[in-house]
Structure formats: C-alpha cells, structure tokens
Amino acid sequence: MARAHDFDLAVVVDDDPDIALAARLALRGQFREIAALPHPEALIPYLDTAQPDVILLDLNFERGATDGAEGFRWLPRILEKDPDAAIVIITAHGGLTIAVDAIKRGAADFVTKPWSNERLVATVRSAASLRKSKRATQTERNRAVELGTPVADIPLLGKSAAMRRVNSLIERAAPTDANVLILGENGTGKELVARELHRRSRRSDQAMVAVDLGAVTESLFESELFGHVKGAFTDAKTDRIGRLQAGNGGTVFLDEIGNLPLHLQPKLLTALERREVTPVGANRATPIDIRLITATNLPPERLAEEDVFRQDLLFRLNTVEIELPPLRHRRDDIPLLLEHYLALYERKYGAPKRTLGPDTLAALSDYDWPGNVRALRHATERAVILAEGESYRLDDFPLPRRSRGEAAPSIAFSPRGDDLNLERAERQMVERALRKHHYNISLAAAELGLTRTSLYRRMEKHGL
C-alpha cells in the first residue's frame, strides 16, 4: 500500500546533479513529487503551472562563484511570482552570513552543504508547513469574510442615554487593542457592537473571524479554536488551523463565551497570555497576533461563580466591559427602531409605505420585548408582509396582549381542549422554554431537545 505523503511537491534548484539526487533521496518520504531543475531561469516558467510546497535554491551557479550574488538576483523574482513561496537556501560551509542575508530578503530558512539528512528533512518540513499554514490561513480568512454578517443594513441604532453610553465606550475602546467583553441579553445586538469595534479599530483592514461557541459541540471546541494536525483524532484527515490563528492580524469574536467548558478555559487563558496556540496533536506552538472580543448572555453574577467561569480568564477578557441594555430599558429607541426596520422590509419586499398610528406606536413602545431588538426586527418583518390598508395595525405585530407592568401570562402549556392547532402549540412550547430560562437560548434549546440553530428558526417562524 502506497504511503500517504504529508506534502505534494518540492523543487530542488541546483546545477550539481549529485546534490539534487541527494536531496531527492532524503525527501522522498515527505513529498509526493520532487522535481529537480538545473537553474532558476527554468523555475520561473515552471511556477506558471505548479505551486511547490517548498523550493530548495542554491545561490551560486557560475563556476567558482561563492558570494551568492546570482541567487540574490533570482530571489525577488521568485517571490514576485509567488509571494508566499517557502524558499530554503542551500549554502556551503562558511556561507552563513550569506544565508542570513537571504533570509532577510525573504527566504524561509537555509541548509548547509554537506548536510545531515535529519537536519534537511526538519528544515524543509518546517518551511513547507509554514507555506501550508499561510494558505490555510488565507482560506479561513476568505471564508470568514464570506460568512461575515453584513452590517450595512443592520446598524447599531439608538439615541437613548443608555445607548449613548454604549457608543461612548465603543468610541474609546475601538482604537486600542484591549480585549472587550460584551454583556447583554439575547437579541440586544452584541455582535453588532463587536463588528463596530472592529470597524473602528486599527485592524479594520484585516478579517474579523466570528465564532458562535454556543453552536459548537463540546468535543470540537478545542479543534475549532486551536486547530489540529493530521491524525490528531479519528476524523482529522488533514491539518486544519483554528479560528484564533485564522484571525491572525485581525479580530476574533467569540460569541457565547459562557459556553466554553471549564476544562478548556485554562487553554484559552494560556493562548492569550503567551500569544500563541498549539493545535490539537501538535507539539509546537504557533504565534498569534489578535484582538479578542467576547460576548455572553450570562449575567455578571453568574460569571462571578468559579464553577461557571475562571476568574483569571474573566480578568483577561474584560479589560473593557460593555453592557448592552435590554430594549425595555431604552424604550425611547423603539420608535426609531420601528421606523428603520419597517422602511428596510418595505424596500426588501417591495411593499407600500404605510403609516404607524400613534395608538399602535404607543402599544409597541409599551411592550417589554423579551427578545429585544431581534424580536422587534422579526415583528416588523411580519407586519410588512401581512399588513393591509394604508397603516399598520397592532394585529399585524405578533405580540401577546399585555402592557407594561401587567403580570406575564402563565408559561404552563395548557391549550384549550378544542384547540388542536400545531402551530399555536409549538409557539406556546417555545415561549414557555424561553421564559423559563430567561431567554438563555442554549438552556431553552436543551430543554426542548433542539439545537440552537433549530430554536432560532422556530423563534423567527413565530416572531419571538
């Protein structure tokens, strides 16, 4: 059975066929293919159709040359052709100064002739792994950008005193690299705050990688955050970089940080303190340069419990703490939010522009909105789709009929004997679970036997 190689292609550029043969024999267990070229001039067109994992490049090709000048002329041309090329310089004894100079000009590493095969393999593998990591990082960043939530149509709206305080904190914290912890109930806009912090930061030209820890199974937490190497566990068919490394140079947003298991919290703390990550199954750490933003719907008193969250990690995360108010604590913003989302969905669905009468506006402003801005947004979308006539009526919005200060209805599920409507029954069950767990999505989903994603779909379906 053929051996599975870790890398695909290595190219040896040397005019001495014996050196090229020795390199090929030493590396044949590491690469699926090893090509040998006699001169860098042949390498440039070769790179039009091939992407080597590593290039071994001799610096001297003219007879008697020892100064490496010829190789130095080709080095920038190779890097211009492939900026991420992993180039290992081949140099003779006494050429260490030249080798160091080559590294300063963009080479990944060097080996000296005559070499030991162990040293050659280790050096070349390291350079090829770096190349592979760069490719994976770019892939992850591209995926993060593609999956990123567009913010142009979901602004952070609000002119109330509570939101002015939030915006003031964002304005002061954003230009720094300080870690930020965002607190708030579900639906208050924690991810919008995170994206606004990134947009106003010095890292805004880099990717923001967002991870919903509430949607990651416990068995995959470590691999998702730190990555893994091939063979680290049963399904690890290839190397994979983690989200912390994918955000290198930019911002990493960890939503639902309260879901991080206690036994993994020390590993995140170590990564932040040392500014490096060690993938699952690896014995070597990789440096990272990230700005970390986290968010949770857990109240501060729960975060203060040692059996829920490590306090040394909490201190590391909340250099700056931003607490988002629930919508019921900033009722002055409800008319502005309604105006914005009604106009948004009228454009989206090509619906006529309708007025919002004073009585309807007063009732909507008086409602507690347990699902906060997210619930208001879903309610306005439903209203735009179902409304008739020239103005919106309260019946167009899916709200329980109670006003501020009135006791909440019983959460027990007891439909009338003659009401066998499955839609209403499902809505009641979802509402019951949400209220029982104070709109903690993870706990409500667990009680209902659903995934968080499935619960979100049902909340959206029923306008909750």
CATH code, 115: 3.40.50.2300
Q: What is the CATH number of the domain that holds 308?
A: 3.40.50.300
Q: Are residues 103 and 229 in the same domain?
A: no
The pLDDT value given to residue 214: 78
Question: Residue 114: inside a domain, yes or no?
Answer: yes
Q: Are residues 441 and 366 in the same domain?
A: no
3-class DSSP state for residue 225? helix
The pLDDT value given to residue 342: 95
Question: Residue 112: inside a domain, yes or no?
Answer: yes
Question: Residue 2: inside a domain, yes or no?
Answer: no
Cα–chain-centroid distance for residue 211?
A: 5
Pair of tokens at residue 152: 């142009």
Digits of tens for pLDDT over the chain (464 positions)?
345 567 889 999 988 888 888 888 889 888 989 999 988 889 989 988 888 999 999 888 777 666 777 778 888 889 888 888 889 988 775 566 777 777 778 888 888 887 888 888 888 888 887 777 666 656 555 555 444 434 344 568 899 999 999 999 999 999 999 999 999 998 899 999 999 999 999 998 888 888 888 777 777 888 888 888 877 777 777 777 788 888 888 999 999 998 888 888 999 999 999 999 988 888 888 888 999 999 999 888 888 888 889 999 999 999 999 999 999 999 999 999 999 999 999 999 999 999 999 999 999 999 999 889 989 998 999 999 999 989 999 989 977 544 444 433 333 344 444 555 677 777 888 888 887 776 777 777 777 777 766 777 777 677 77
Question: Residue 141: inside a domain, yes or no?
Answer: no
Instruction: Give Cβ neighbours of residue 19 (< 8 Å, ≥ 6 apart).
Output: 12, 58, 90, 113
Q: What is the CATH number of the domain that holds 387?
A: 1.10.8.60
Q: Is the peptide bond before 114 cis (omega within 30 degrees of 0)?
A: yes
Q: Are residues 367 and 342 in the same domain?
A: yes
Q: Are residues 428 and 405 in the same domain?
A: no
Beta-bridge partners for 338: none
Backbone angles phi, psi at 279, to 5 degrees: -60, 155
| Separation CA 103–CA 85 (nearest Å) | 12
Backbone angles phi, psi at 170, to 5 degrees: -60, -45
Neighbours of 311 (CB within 10 A): 11
Q: Are residues 208 and 298 in the same domain?
A: yes
| Separation CA 210–CA 244 (nearest Å) | 10
The pLDDT value given to residue 410: 35
Measured at the CA of 183, the angle between CA 182 and CA 187, to 5 degrees, comes to 100
Q: Are residues 183 and 316 in the same domain?
A: yes
Question: Residue 53: inside a domain, yes or no?
Answer: yes
By DSSP bridging, strand 109-113 and strand 180-183 are unpaired
Q: Describe the chain by its helix, strand, coil percentages, rounded to 5.
A: 45, 15, 40
Q: Are residues 277 and 348 in the same domain?
A: no
Boundary (domain end) residue, out of 393, 409, 425: 409
| Separation CA 257–CA 250 (nearest Å) | 19
| Separation CA 276–CA 226 (nearest Å) | 9
Q: Where are the beta strands (DSSP E) in 343-396?
A: 355-356, 391-392
Q: Are residues 97 and 21 in the same domain?
A: yes
With 0-12 CB in 10 A as exposed, 13-18 as middle and 19+ as buried, what is 102?
buried
The pLDDT value given to residue 239: 72
Q: Are residues 353 and 321 in the same domain?
A: no
* Helices 372-386 and 452-461: angle between axes, nearest 10 degrees: 40
| Separation CA 45–CA 419 (nearest Å) | 75
The counts of H helices and E strands in the chain are 18, 16
Instruction: Give Cβ neighbours of residue 18 (< 8 Å, ≥ 6 apart).
Output: none
Boundary (domain end) residue, out of 300, 325, 350: 325
Instruction: Give Cβ neighbours of residue 168 (< 8 Å, ≥ 6 apart).
Output: none
Pair of tokens at residue 46: 């070769």
| Separation CA 27–CA 230 (nearest Å) | 19
Instruction: Give Cβ neighbours of residue 272 (< 8 Å, ≥ 6 apart).
Output: 179, 292, 316
C-alpha dihedral sign at 225, 226, 228, 234: negative
| Separation CA 225–CA 248 (nearest Å) | 12
- Tell me which DSSP letter residue 261 carries: -
Backbone angles phi, psi at 5, to 5 degrees: -85, 150
Question: Residue 159: inside a domain, yes or no?
Answer: yes
Question: Residue 169: inside a domain, yes or no?
Answer: yes
Which helix (H) or strand (E) segment holds residue 11: the answer is strand 7-13
Q: Are residues 414 and 396 in the same domain?
A: no
Boundary (domain end) residue, out of 92, 113, 135: 135
Q: What is the CATH number of the domain that holds 451?
A: 1.10.10
| Separation CA 106–CA 109 (nearest Å) | 9
- pTM attached to this predicted model: 0.59
Measured at the CA of 32, the angle between CA 70 and CA 68, to 5 degrees, comes to 10
Q: Are residues 160 and 291 in the same domain?
A: yes
Pair of tokens at residue 117: 């095969």
Question: Which residues span the domain enclosing 230?
Answer: 148-325
Q: Please count the structural domains in the chain.
A: 4
Question: Residue 140: inside a domain, yes or no?
Answer: no
The pLDDT value given to residue 4: 53
| Separation CA 167–CA 197 (nearest Å) | 10
Q: Are residues 259 and 405 in the same domain?
A: no
